[in-house]
Structure 1
Protein backbone atom coordinates (compact mmCIF):
# COMPACT_ATOMS: atom_id res chain seq x y z
CA UNK A 1 0.00 0.00 0.00
CA UNK A 2 1.38 3.38 -1.01
CA UNK A 3 1.96 6.06 1.62
CA UNK A 4 -0.76 8.68 1.88
CA UNK A 5 0.12 12.01 0.29
CA UNK A 6 0.49 14.77 2.86
CA UNK A 7 -0.68 18.20 1.75
CA UNK A 8 0.21 21.74 2.80
CA UNK A 9 -1.57 24.82 1.45
CA UNK A 10 0.84 27.76 1.56
CA UNK A 11 -0.36 31.35 1.10
CA UNK A 12 2.00 33.80 -0.63
CA UNK A 13 1.69 37.29 -2.10
CA UNK A 14 2.57 37.82 -5.75
CA UNK A 15 3.56 35.54 -8.59
CA UNK A 16 7.33 35.20 -8.16
CA UNK A 17 7.50 32.02 -6.13
CA UNK A 18 10.44 30.14 -7.60
CA UNK A 19 11.89 29.22 -4.16
CA UNK A 20 8.62 27.56 -3.15
CA UNK A 21 8.32 25.86 -6.52
CA UNK A 22 11.81 24.41 -5.98
CA UNK A 23 10.81 23.26 -2.48
CA UNK A 24 7.61 21.70 -3.85
CA UNK A 25 9.66 19.55 -6.24
CA UNK A 26 11.96 18.39 -3.42
CA UNK A 27 9.01 17.52 -1.18
CA UNK A 28 7.50 15.19 -3.76
CA UNK A 29 10.09 12.52 -2.90
CA UNK A 30 8.67 12.54 0.64
CA UNK A 31 5.10 12.25 -0.65
CA UNK A 32 4.34 15.83 0.38
CA UNK A 33 2.27 18.05 -1.89
CA UNK A 34 2.92 21.77 -1.45
CA UNK A 35 0.06 23.81 -2.93
CA UNK A 36 0.96 27.47 -3.46
CA UNK A 37 -2.02 29.81 -3.00
CA UNK A 38 -1.38 33.33 -4.33
CA UNK A 39 -2.84 36.58 -2.99
CA UNK A 40 -2.64 40.18 -4.18
CA UNK A 41 -2.88 41.95 -0.80
CA UNK A 42 -1.21 41.73 2.61
CA UNK A 43 -4.25 41.08 4.78
CA UNK A 44 -6.14 38.16 3.20
CA UNK A 45 -3.43 35.52 3.80
CA UNK A 46 -3.62 36.03 7.57
CA UNK A 47 -7.41 36.08 7.54
CA UNK A 48 -7.54 32.82 5.58
CA UNK A 49 -4.90 31.27 7.82
CA UNK A 50 -6.94 32.13 10.90
CA UNK A 51 -10.01 30.54 9.30
CA UNK A 52 -8.18 27.34 8.33
CA UNK A 53 -8.46 27.91 4.57
CA UNK A 54 -4.68 27.57 4.25
CA UNK A 55 -2.17 25.78 6.48
CA UNK A 56 0.59 28.40 6.48
CA UNK A 57 1.67 31.61 4.82
CA UNK A 58 5.03 33.13 3.88
CA UNK A 59 4.97 36.77 2.82
CA UNK A 60 5.09 39.06 5.86
CA UNK A 61 7.87 40.42 8.02
CA UNK A 62 7.86 40.13 11.80
CA UNK A 63 6.81 43.75 12.38
CA UNK A 64 3.72 43.33 10.19
CA UNK A 65 2.91 40.00 11.85
CA UNK A 66 3.18 41.53 15.32
CA UNK A 67 0.84 44.36 14.33
CA UNK A 68 -1.69 41.93 12.87
CA UNK A 69 -1.61 39.75 16.00
CA UNK A 70 -1.99 42.79 18.25
CA UNK A 71 -4.94 44.18 16.30
CA UNK A 72 -6.77 41.01 15.30
CA UNK A 73 -5.68 38.59 18.06
CA UNK A 74 -4.43 35.93 15.66
CA UNK A 75 -2.89 32.88 17.32
CA UNK A 76 0.07 32.27 14.99
CA UNK A 77 3.50 30.68 15.32
CA UNK A 78 6.67 31.35 13.34
CA UNK A 79 8.27 28.25 11.79
CA UNK A 80 11.28 29.92 10.21
CA UNK A 81 12.83 32.94 8.51
CA UNK A 82 12.86 33.32 4.73
CA UNK A 83 14.43 36.57 3.45
CA UNK A 84 14.86 40.32 3.82
CA UNK A 85 13.30 42.63 1.24
CA UNK A 86 14.56 46.22 1.68
CA UNK A 87 11.84 48.76 0.97
CA UNK A 88 12.69 51.27 -1.76
CA UNK A 89 11.80 54.84 -2.61
CA UNK A 90 10.81 55.55 -6.22
CA UNK A 91 10.08 58.73 -8.12
CA UNK A 92 9.26 60.11 -11.54
CA UNK A 93 10.32 63.62 -10.46
CA UNK A 94 13.58 63.43 -8.53
CA UNK A 95 16.72 61.31 -8.82
CA UNK A 96 17.76 61.21 -5.16
CA UNK A 97 16.53 62.27 -1.73
CA UNK A 98 18.69 65.39 -2.13
CA UNK A 99 16.17 66.51 -4.75
CA UNK A 100 13.37 66.86 -2.19
CA UNK A 101 12.11 70.43 -1.78
CA UNK A 102 9.87 72.18 0.70
CA UNK A 103 6.30 70.93 0.63
CA UNK A 104 7.04 67.85 -1.48
CA UNK A 105 4.72 64.87 -1.11
CA UNK A 106 5.73 61.37 -0.02
CA UNK A 107 3.51 58.29 -0.34
CA UNK A 108 3.94 55.64 2.36
CA UNK A 109 2.21 52.32 3.16
CA UNK A 110 -1.00 52.63 5.15
CA UNK A 111 -0.38 49.67 7.47
CA UNK A 112 1.28 50.80 10.70
CA UNK A 113 4.36 48.56 10.59
CA UNK A 114 5.40 49.63 7.09
CA UNK A 115 4.36 53.22 7.80
CA UNK A 116 6.79 53.37 10.73
CA UNK A 117 9.35 51.50 8.65
CA UNK A 118 9.20 54.18 5.95
CA UNK A 119 9.43 57.03 8.41
CA UNK A 120 12.39 55.32 10.06
CA UNK A 121 14.21 55.32 6.71
CA UNK A 122 13.68 59.08 6.33
CA UNK A 123 14.72 59.64 9.95
CA UNK A 124 17.91 57.75 9.27
CA UNK A 125 18.67 60.20 6.46
CA UNK A 126 18.05 63.14 8.84
CA UNK A 127 15.02 64.37 6.88
CA UNK A 128 12.51 64.02 9.72
CA UNK A 129 12.16 62.99 13.33
CA UNK A 130 9.06 61.82 15.14
CA UNK A 131 7.59 60.20 18.22
CA UNK A 132 4.54 58.00 18.63
CA UNK A 133 2.15 59.49 21.20
CA UNK A 134 1.74 56.91 23.96
CA UNK A 135 -1.87 57.89 24.57
CA UNK A 136 -3.31 58.39 21.09
CA UNK A 137 -0.82 56.21 19.15
CA UNK A 138 -0.56 59.08 16.67
CA UNK A 139 2.70 59.97 14.97
CA UNK A 140 3.95 63.41 16.02
CA UNK A 141 6.67 65.03 13.93
CA UNK A 142 9.30 66.76 16.03
CA UNK A 143 11.41 67.65 12.99
CA UNK A 144 10.31 68.17 9.40
CA UNK A 145 12.35 71.06 7.96
CA UNK A 146 11.09 70.48 4.41
CA UNK A 147 7.49 70.28 5.61
CA UNK A 148 7.08 67.03 3.70
CA UNK A 149 3.47 65.99 3.13
CA UNK A 150 2.69 62.33 3.73
CA UNK A 151 -0.05 60.37 1.99
CA UNK A 152 -0.96 56.84 3.02
CA UNK A 153 -1.86 54.17 0.46
CA UNK A 154 -2.56 50.46 0.62
CA UNK A 155 0.73 48.76 -0.27
CA UNK A 156 -0.59 47.38 -3.56
CA UNK A 157 -1.59 50.90 -4.69
CA UNK A 158 1.69 52.70 -4.01
CA UNK A 159 3.02 52.19 -7.54
CA UNK A 160 0.00 54.05 -8.90
CA UNK A 161 0.73 56.98 -6.59
CA UNK A 162 3.91 57.86 -8.50
CA UNK A 163 1.90 60.10 -10.85
CA UNK A 164 0.52 62.02 -7.89
CA UNK A 165 3.41 62.46 -5.45
CA UNK A 166 7.06 63.48 -5.45
CA UNK A 167 8.19 60.03 -4.36
CA UNK A 168 6.77 56.84 -2.92
CA UNK A 169 7.89 53.97 -0.73
CA UNK A 170 7.04 50.72 -2.53
CA UNK A 171 7.53 47.23 -1.12
CA UNK A 172 9.88 45.16 -3.26
CA UNK A 173 7.35 42.63 -4.56
CA UNK A 174 4.94 45.33 -5.75
CA UNK A 175 7.77 47.34 -7.32
CA UNK A 176 9.05 44.34 -9.25
CA UNK A 177 5.59 43.24 -10.39
CA UNK A 178 5.10 46.71 -11.86
CA UNK A 179 8.31 46.57 -13.88
CA UNK A 180 10.64 48.34 -11.47
CA UNK A 181 14.04 46.93 -10.52
CA UNK A 182 14.48 47.63 -6.79
CA UNK A 183 18.26 47.85 -7.17
CA UNK A 184 18.55 50.10 -10.23
CA UNK A 185 15.24 51.99 -10.35
CA UNK A 186 14.86 53.11 -6.73
CA UNK A 187 16.26 56.49 -5.72
CA UNK A 188 17.02 55.09 -2.25
CA UNK A 189 16.87 51.68 -0.56
CA UNK A 190 16.51 50.76 3.07
CA UNK A 191 19.74 49.63 4.74
CA UNK A 192 19.16 46.23 6.33
CA UNK A 193 21.67 44.09 8.18
CA UNK A 194 21.13 40.45 9.07
CA UNK A 195 23.71 40.89 11.82
CA UNK A 196 20.76 42.01 13.92
CA UNK A 197 19.12 38.67 14.69
CA UNK A 198 16.00 40.46 15.93
CA UNK A 199 15.53 42.45 12.73
CA UNK A 200 11.78 43.21 12.62
CA UNK A 201 11.71 43.16 8.82
CA UNK A 202 12.81 39.56 8.32
CA UNK A 203 10.07 37.71 6.45
CA UNK A 204 8.79 34.53 8.02
CA UNK A 205 6.86 31.30 7.47
CA UNK A 206 3.82 31.32 9.77
CA UNK A 207 1.14 28.82 10.78
CA UNK A 208 -1.64 28.60 13.33
CA UNK A 209 -0.51 27.67 16.84
CA UNK A 210 -3.33 25.11 16.77
CA UNK A 211 -2.03 23.32 13.70
CA UNK A 212 -2.49 19.57 14.07
CA UNK A 213 0.62 17.57 14.91
CA UNK A 214 0.89 15.80 11.56
CA UNK A 215 0.72 19.13 9.72
CA UNK A 216 3.35 20.56 12.08
CA UNK A 217 5.77 17.78 11.15
CA UNK A 218 5.03 18.29 7.47
CA UNK A 219 5.54 22.04 7.70
CA UNK A 220 8.90 21.53 9.38
CA UNK A 221 9.94 19.54 6.30
CA UNK A 222 8.83 22.47 4.14
CA UNK A 223 11.08 24.94 5.98
CA UNK A 224 13.87 22.32 6.06
CA UNK A 225 14.04 22.28 2.27
CA UNK A 226 13.58 26.05 2.06
CA UNK A 227 16.55 26.94 4.26
CA UNK A 228 19.13 25.43 1.92
CA UNK A 229 21.96 26.73 -0.22
CA UNK A 230 20.01 26.08 -3.42
CA UNK A 231 17.10 28.24 -2.26
CA UNK A 232 19.48 30.93 -0.98
CA UNK A 233 20.93 31.20 -4.50
CA UNK A 234 17.43 31.41 -6.02
CA UNK A 235 16.53 34.20 -3.57
CA UNK A 236 19.65 36.19 -4.49
CA UNK A 237 18.58 36.19 -8.15
CA UNK A 238 15.02 37.39 -7.47
CA UNK A 239 13.68 40.92 -7.87
CA UNK A 240 16.76 42.15 -9.70
CA UNK A 241 19.10 40.82 -7.02
CA UNK A 242 17.49 42.88 -4.25
CA UNK A 243 16.64 40.13 -1.75
CA UNK A 244 18.78 38.82 1.12
CA UNK A 245 18.41 35.23 2.40
CA UNK A 246 17.58 35.32 6.11
CA UNK A 247 19.04 31.98 7.13
CA UNK A 248 22.26 29.99 7.26
CA UNK A 249 21.82 27.17 4.70
CA UNK A 250 21.51 23.67 6.16
CA UNK A 251 23.23 22.20 3.11
Structure 2
Protein backbone atom coordinates (compact mmCIF):
# COMPACT_ATOMS: atom_id res chain seq x y z
CA UNK A 1 0.00 0.00 0.00
CA UNK A 2 1.32 3.45 -0.90
CA UNK A 3 0.90 5.68 2.13
CA UNK A 4 1.13 9.39 1.39
CA UNK A 5 4.10 11.08 3.06
CA UNK A 6 2.12 13.59 5.17
CA UNK A 7 -0.07 10.82 6.56
CA UNK A 8 2.96 8.59 7.17
CA UNK A 9 4.72 11.40 9.09
CA UNK A 10 1.61 12.10 11.19
CA UNK A 11 1.22 8.40 11.96
CA UNK A 12 4.89 8.12 12.95
CA UNK A 13 4.53 11.14 15.28
CA UNK A 14 1.47 9.63 16.91
CA UNK A 15 3.28 6.34 17.43
CA UNK A 16 6.17 8.16 19.07
CA UNK A 17 3.76 10.04 21.38
CA UNK A 18 2.14 6.77 22.43
CA UNK A 19 5.41 4.99 23.13
CA UNK A 20 4.97 2.44 20.31
CA UNK A 21 8.06 3.74 18.51
CA UNK A 22 11.21 4.88 20.31
CA UNK A 23 11.21 4.99 24.11
CA UNK A 24 8.39 7.38 25.04
CA UNK A 25 6.53 6.01 28.09
CA UNK A 26 2.82 6.60 27.54
CA UNK A 27 0.32 7.98 25.08
CA UNK A 28 -0.09 11.69 25.93
CA UNK A 29 -3.19 12.98 24.17
CA UNK A 30 -3.68 16.75 24.38
CA UNK A 31 -7.14 18.22 23.76
CA UNK A 32 -7.86 21.91 23.23
CA UNK A 33 -10.91 23.29 25.04
CA UNK A 34 -12.15 26.76 24.08
CA UNK A 35 -13.57 28.67 27.06
CA UNK A 36 -15.35 32.03 27.01
CA UNK A 37 -15.01 34.38 29.99
CA UNK A 38 -15.51 38.07 30.73
CA UNK A 39 -12.45 40.27 30.32
CA UNK A 40 -10.69 41.52 33.42
CA UNK A 41 -9.77 39.76 36.65
CA UNK A 42 -11.09 36.42 35.43
CA UNK A 43 -8.22 36.27 32.95
CA UNK A 44 -5.78 35.93 35.86
CA UNK A 45 -7.93 33.23 37.47
CA UNK A 46 -8.08 31.23 34.25
CA UNK A 47 -4.30 31.31 33.82
CA UNK A 48 -4.15 29.20 36.97
CA UNK A 49 -6.95 26.93 35.71
CA UNK A 50 -5.15 26.50 32.40
CA UNK A 51 -1.93 25.52 34.15
CA UNK A 52 -3.83 22.89 36.17
CA UNK A 53 -5.57 21.57 33.05
CA UNK A 54 -2.31 21.34 31.10
CA UNK A 55 -1.06 18.79 33.62
CA UNK A 56 -4.11 16.66 32.75
CA UNK A 57 -3.65 16.85 28.98
CA UNK A 58 -6.01 19.74 28.24
CA UNK A 59 -4.98 22.98 26.56
CA UNK A 60 -7.38 25.72 27.62
CA UNK A 61 -7.82 28.44 25.01
CA UNK A 62 -9.53 31.45 26.58
CA UNK A 63 -11.66 33.94 24.64
CA UNK A 64 -12.66 37.14 26.46
CA UNK A 65 -15.89 39.10 26.11
CA UNK A 66 -17.16 42.47 27.34
CA UNK A 67 -20.86 41.84 26.68
CA UNK A 68 -22.80 39.35 28.82
CA UNK A 69 -24.98 38.21 25.92
CA UNK A 70 -22.11 37.00 23.73
CA UNK A 71 -20.59 33.99 25.58
CA UNK A 72 -23.80 31.93 25.50
CA UNK A 73 -24.40 32.71 21.84
CA UNK A 74 -20.83 31.71 21.00
CA UNK A 75 -21.26 28.48 22.98
CA UNK A 76 -24.56 27.66 21.28
CA UNK A 77 -22.93 28.25 17.88
CA UNK A 78 -20.05 25.91 18.86
CA UNK A 79 -17.48 28.70 18.60
CA UNK A 80 -16.73 27.77 22.24
CA UNK A 81 -16.68 24.46 24.08
CA UNK A 82 -17.53 26.01 27.46
CA UNK A 83 -18.03 29.34 29.14
CA UNK A 84 -17.63 30.60 32.69
CA UNK A 85 -19.32 33.88 33.57
CA UNK A 86 -22.92 33.40 34.69
CA UNK A 87 -25.27 32.23 37.42
CA UNK A 88 -28.41 30.08 37.10
CA UNK A 89 -31.06 32.84 37.05
CA UNK A 90 -29.18 34.53 34.20
CA UNK A 91 -28.85 31.28 32.23
CA UNK A 92 -32.52 30.47 32.84
CA UNK A 93 -33.52 33.86 31.42
CA UNK A 94 -31.27 33.33 28.40
CA UNK A 95 -32.72 29.87 27.78
CA UNK A 96 -36.26 31.22 28.01
CA UNK A 97 -35.47 33.98 25.53
CA UNK A 98 -33.18 32.13 23.10
CA UNK A 99 -33.90 28.43 23.68
CA UNK A 100 -30.27 27.50 24.32
CA UNK A 101 -29.43 23.88 25.21
CA UNK A 102 -26.78 24.93 27.74
CA UNK A 103 -26.25 23.36 31.16
CA UNK A 104 -24.09 24.13 34.25
CA UNK A 105 -21.42 21.54 35.07
CA UNK A 106 -19.45 22.93 38.03
CA UNK A 107 -19.52 25.91 40.39
CA UNK A 108 -16.80 28.55 40.27
CA UNK A 109 -17.36 31.58 42.52
CA UNK A 110 -20.01 33.88 43.93
CA UNK A 111 -19.98 37.66 43.75
CA UNK A 112 -22.48 39.06 46.26
CA UNK A 113 -24.17 42.00 44.54
CA UNK A 114 -23.98 45.28 46.46
CA UNK A 115 -25.73 48.61 46.84
CA UNK A 116 -23.16 51.42 46.64
CA UNK A 117 -23.32 55.15 47.24
CA UNK A 118 -21.04 58.16 47.29
CA UNK A 119 -23.72 60.39 48.78
CA UNK A 120 -24.94 58.49 51.85
CA UNK A 121 -23.38 56.10 54.33
CA UNK A 122 -26.42 53.91 54.99
CA UNK A 123 -29.63 52.71 53.36
CA UNK A 124 -31.63 54.57 55.98
CA UNK A 125 -30.02 57.85 54.88
CA UNK A 126 -31.38 57.63 51.32
CA UNK A 127 -33.49 60.72 50.58
CA UNK A 128 -37.04 60.95 49.27
CA UNK A 129 -37.14 60.45 45.48
CA UNK A 130 -33.59 59.09 45.51
CA UNK A 131 -32.35 57.88 42.12
CA UNK A 132 -31.11 54.29 42.35
CA UNK A 133 -29.43 52.64 39.40
CA UNK A 134 -29.95 48.93 38.70
CA UNK A 135 -28.70 46.64 35.90
CA UNK A 136 -31.25 46.33 33.10
CA UNK A 137 -30.84 42.65 32.15
CA UNK A 138 -33.63 40.47 33.60
CA UNK A 139 -31.70 38.36 36.10
CA UNK A 140 -29.52 41.13 37.51
CA UNK A 141 -32.38 43.64 37.69
CA UNK A 142 -34.37 41.04 39.62
CA UNK A 143 -31.40 40.46 41.88
CA UNK A 144 -31.04 44.21 42.48
CA UNK A 145 -34.71 44.68 43.32
CA UNK A 146 -34.64 41.73 45.73
CA UNK A 147 -31.66 43.35 47.46
CA UNK A 148 -33.55 46.65 47.76
CA UNK A 149 -36.54 44.77 49.18
CA UNK A 150 -34.34 42.92 51.69
CA UNK A 151 -33.12 46.28 52.94
CA UNK A 152 -36.56 47.87 53.24
CA UNK A 153 -36.25 50.32 50.35
CA UNK A 154 -39.14 48.82 48.37
CA UNK A 155 -41.61 45.94 48.60
CA UNK A 156 -42.34 43.62 45.69
CA UNK A 157 -45.66 41.93 45.05
CA UNK A 158 -45.98 38.37 46.30
CA UNK A 159 -44.90 35.51 44.07
CA UNK A 160 -42.52 37.43 41.80
CA UNK A 161 -39.81 34.77 42.07
CA UNK A 162 -36.22 35.51 41.01
CA UNK A 163 -36.95 37.82 38.08
CA UNK A 164 -39.01 40.78 39.29
CA UNK A 165 -39.01 44.05 37.36
CA UNK A 166 -39.75 47.61 38.44
CA UNK A 167 -43.40 46.97 37.51
CA UNK A 168 -43.55 44.46 40.38
CA UNK A 169 -42.91 47.11 43.05
CA UNK A 170 -45.98 47.17 45.28
CA UNK A 171 -44.73 49.60 47.91
CA UNK A 172 -42.19 52.42 47.61
CA UNK A 173 -42.25 54.46 50.86
CA UNK A 174 -39.55 56.93 49.79
CA UNK A 175 -40.70 57.08 46.18
CA UNK A 176 -37.25 56.12 44.96
CA UNK A 177 -36.68 56.30 41.22
CA UNK A 178 -35.38 53.08 39.69
CA UNK A 179 -32.97 53.85 36.84
CA UNK A 180 -32.42 50.82 34.58
CA UNK A 181 -28.96 50.93 33.02
CA UNK A 182 -26.66 48.50 31.26
CA UNK A 183 -24.77 46.35 33.76
CA UNK A 184 -21.46 47.74 32.51
CA UNK A 185 -22.62 51.36 32.86
CA UNK A 186 -24.53 51.47 36.14
CA UNK A 187 -21.36 51.45 38.27
CA UNK A 188 -19.75 54.23 36.25
CA UNK A 189 -22.89 56.33 36.70
CA UNK A 190 -22.73 56.19 40.50
CA UNK A 191 -21.66 59.83 40.76
CA UNK A 192 -24.89 60.92 39.07
CA UNK A 193 -27.08 58.71 41.25
CA UNK A 194 -27.93 58.56 44.92
CA UNK A 195 -27.04 54.87 44.95
CA UNK A 196 -26.52 52.01 42.53
CA UNK A 197 -26.81 48.24 42.68
CA UNK A 198 -23.72 46.95 40.88
CA UNK A 199 -22.36 43.49 40.14
CA UNK A 200 -19.04 42.97 41.91
CA UNK A 201 -16.97 42.59 38.74
CA UNK A 202 -18.40 45.78 37.26
CA UNK A 203 -17.97 47.61 40.57
CA UNK A 204 -14.26 46.81 40.44
CA UNK A 205 -14.01 47.93 36.81
CA UNK A 206 -15.85 51.16 37.64
CA UNK A 207 -13.38 52.03 40.40
CA UNK A 208 -15.93 51.75 43.20
CA UNK A 209 -14.26 51.41 46.58
CA UNK A 210 -15.28 48.05 48.01
CA UNK A 211 -16.31 47.80 50.83
CA UNK A 212 -15.99 51.51 51.74
CA UNK A 213 -18.78 52.65 49.41
CA UNK A 214 -21.04 49.63 49.94
CA UNK A 215 -24.14 50.35 52.02
CA UNK A 216 -25.83 46.93 51.56
CA UNK A 217 -24.95 43.48 50.24
CA UNK A 218 -26.95 40.31 49.57
CA UNK A 219 -26.41 37.33 51.85
CA UNK A 220 -23.76 34.80 50.86
CA UNK A 221 -25.33 31.83 52.67
CA UNK A 222 -27.70 29.96 50.36
CA UNK A 223 -26.97 32.41 47.55
CA UNK A 224 -28.66 31.26 44.31
CA UNK A 225 -26.29 33.37 42.22
CA UNK A 226 -23.23 31.16 42.29
CA UNK A 227 -21.40 31.27 38.98
CA UNK A 228 -20.46 28.10 37.11
CA UNK A 229 -18.81 26.56 34.08
CA UNK A 230 -21.42 25.80 31.39
CA UNK A 231 -21.36 23.61 28.29
CA UNK A 232 -23.73 22.51 25.56
CA UNK A 233 -26.04 19.81 26.92
CA UNK A 234 -24.73 17.21 24.47
CA UNK A 235 -21.22 17.64 25.91
CA UNK A 236 -22.15 17.46 29.59
CA UNK A 237 -20.87 13.89 30.06
CA UNK A 238 -17.74 14.29 27.93
CA UNK A 239 -14.53 13.29 29.81
CA UNK A 240 -12.90 16.67 29.18
CA UNK A 241 -15.74 18.42 31.05
CA UNK A 242 -14.97 16.62 34.29
CA UNK A 243 -11.27 17.37 33.86
CA UNK A 244 -11.96 21.06 33.20
CA UNK A 245 -14.16 21.37 36.29
CA UNK A 246 -11.60 19.56 38.45
CA UNK A 247 -8.88 21.87 37.10
CA UNK A 248 -10.94 24.83 38.29
CA UNK A 249 -11.99 23.50 41.68
CA UNK A 250 -8.51 23.50 43.18
CA UNK A 251 -6.97 25.31 46.14
CA UNK A 252 -4.60 27.34 43.94
CA UNK A 253 -7.57 28.62 41.91
CA UNK A 254 -9.40 29.57 45.13
CA UNK A 255 -6.31 31.54 46.16
CA UNK A 256 -6.21 33.26 42.76
CA UNK A 257 -9.90 34.25 43.06
CA UNK A 258 -9.41 35.75 46.51
CA UNK A 259 -6.25 37.58 45.40
CA UNK A 260 -7.37 39.12 42.11
CA UNK A 261 -10.81 40.10 43.43
CA UNK A 262 -9.39 41.46 46.70
CA UNK A 263 -11.51 39.15 48.84
CA UNK A 264 -14.89 40.42 47.54
CA UNK A 265 -15.45 37.38 45.31
CA UNK A 266 -15.59 33.98 47.02
CA UNK A 267 -14.91 30.43 45.73
CA UNK A 268 -18.29 28.72 45.56
CA UNK A 269 -17.76 24.99 45.07
CA UNK A 270 -18.37 22.60 47.96
CA UNK A 271 -15.42 22.55 50.32
CA UNK A 272 -13.70 25.54 48.72
CA UNK A 273 -11.42 27.58 51.03
CA UNK A 274 -12.84 31.02 51.81
CA UNK A 275 -9.65 32.78 52.89
**TM-score, normalising length: structure 2:** 0.82
CA apart distance, 1:160: 2.5
Higher relative contact order (CA 8 A, sep 6+): 1
In the alignment, the residues of structure 1 paired with residue 154 and residue 71 of structure 2 have an alpha-carbon distance, to the nearest angstrom, of 33
2:147 match: 121
Could you tell me how far 1:189 is from its partner in structure 2? 1.9
SS class of match (1:240): coil
Q: Describe the superposition over 1:172-197 as per-residue Cα deviations: whole angstroms up to 9, x where unpaired.
A: 1111122234333322222221xx3x
C-alpha spacing 1:147/1:103, structure 2 compared with 1 (3 Å): same
In 2, Cα distance between the equivalents of 1:125 and 1:248?
Answer: 28
Structure 2 counterpart SS, 1:150: strand
Secondary structure of the equivalent of 1:64? helix
CA deviations 1:97-118 (Å, max 9, x no partner) are 1221111111101011111111
Give the 3-state SS of the residue equivalent to 1:160 in structure 2.
coil
Task: Quote the offset at 1:57 in angstroms.
Answer: 0.6
Structure 2 regions of 5+ residues with no counterpart? 1-15, 18-27
Q: CA deviation at 1:212?
A: 8.4
Say if 2:235 and 2:241, in contact at 8 Å, map to a contact too.
no
Q: TM-score, normalised by structure 1?
A: 0.89
Higher mean alpha-carbon deviation, 204-213 vs 71-80, is at 204-213
Q: Does 1:201 align with 2:201?
A: no
Aligned residue pairs, count: 243
Q: How does 1:34-113 map to 2 (within 5 A)?
A: 34-113=60-139
Shift of 1:26: 1.7
Query: Does 1:144 pair with 2:172?
Result: yes
The runs of 5 or more residues in structure 1 that have no matched partner are none
Distance of 1:133 and 1:187 partners within structure 2: 27
1:217 aligns with 2:239: yes
Cα 1:246–1:212 change in 2 (3 A) is: closer
Distance, in Å, in 2 between the alignment partners of 1:67 and 1:73 is 9
- Give 2:251's aligned residue: 229
